[in-house]
Structure 1
Amino acid sequence: MEFVHYVAPSYKQDELFAKANEVYGEGAVFPYANGFFVATDDPTSEVSTKIGIRDGSVGSGVVLRVTTYNGRAPADLWEWLAKGLA
């Protein structure tokens, strides 16, 4: 998978998370904080469209492409990010 995106929902977080799992599969979606990461070859605009943010059909929020990362987080997040950005 080429890109990792972070979805920061502002409305209907649970519905957006469920839609992302439906579209991309559970292994490609990782919940974190108030949003979730998605690993896919799709650009941010396509992620937004496929999970129902662009047209508001599922919820609202912002999709950000992750290019670098640093910080302190649980080990399972670091492992997932390493796979997603490999």
Structure 2
Amino acid sequence: MNSSYWPINTAHQRPSLVTQLASVWHGILAHLNATNEPHVWPATDDSGATLWNAYDPLTQLTINHASDDELRVWLEELHYRN
């Protein structure tokens, strides 16, 4: 699977194991879903802050543990790329 480059957000703590497993599970479900729309799901870091994950089945690009603004930019770039 291709991964998009995105700067690492060092302001947040590393996500917990539960959050990482949930992210992997959502990624698997996104791959199994037959739609061509990007899949977006929330994650929570150890401090309780909401981060976002997304997968685009057309380009097979992903973004993990992104802020609201980072996710918005990523989705806009996908729109103009396709």
Question: TM-score, normalized by length of structure 2?
Answer: 0.28
* Higher strand residue share: 1
Q: Which has the higher contact order (CA 8 A, sep 6+)?
A: 1
Q: TM-score, normalised by structure 1?
A: 0.28
